């Protein structure tokens, strides 16, 4: 390495060190919020073999909502999910009937009223009883 390159490299390193030392800690890294942006799980549950299952209540605090659900089996059984508002038992959104396919995740996405209690109801439209699972998320 030539002397000119060594001097340029040393000078660049010194300037970078001075620049970094001059930053206050708040400028160097932003303060993380108490809750990161993205999808946050607000419910998770499973149920043994049954023709239908209603989850426990959950209360989203944002309007963006996604339910992930499925069932275990591979014999032509179809499962359907319904998002139900707790106070009046109104079905807010209904998924299509989906094949179980050994636990493959199915989705039900919609907008909800923040601060309102809901639950998911899963039932089979075709085939025998199977174990089911459900998770609910709201978007921050």
Strand-pair partners of 108: 67
CB 70 within 8 A of CB 29: no
CATH assignment of 40-139?
Answer: 2.60.120.380
Instruction: In whole angstroms, give the CA distance from residue 85 to residue 90.
Output: 5
- Write out pLDDT tens, residues 54-112: 999 999 999 999 999 999 988 999 999 999 999 999 999 999 999 999 999 999 999 99
Are 38 and 139 spatial neighbours (Cβ–Cβ below 8 Å)?
yes
Domains of the chain, residue spans: 40-139
- 40-63: pLDDT as tens digits: 999 999 999 999 999 999 999 999
**What is the distance, to the nearest Å, from the Cα of residue 73 to the centroid of all Cα atoms in its chain?**
24
pTM: 0.73
């Amino acid at each position: 390495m030539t002397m000119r390159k060594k001097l340029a490299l040393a000078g660049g390193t010194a300037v970078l060190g001075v620049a970094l030392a001059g930053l206050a800690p708040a400028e160097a890294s932003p303060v993380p919020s108490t809750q990161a942006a993205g999808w946050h799980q607000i419910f998770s549950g499973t149920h043994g073999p049954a023709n239908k299952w209603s989850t426990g209540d959950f209360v989203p605090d944002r309007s963006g909502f996604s339910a992930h659900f499925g069932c275990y089996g591979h014999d032509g059984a179809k499962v359907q999910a319904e998002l139900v508002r707790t106070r009046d038992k109104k079905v807010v959104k209904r998924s299509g009937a989906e094949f179980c396919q050994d636990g493959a995740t199915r989705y039900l996405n919609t907008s909800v009223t923040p601060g309102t209690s809901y639950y998911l109801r899963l039932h089979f439209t075709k085939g025998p009883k199977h174990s089911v699972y459900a998770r609910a998320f709201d978007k921050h």
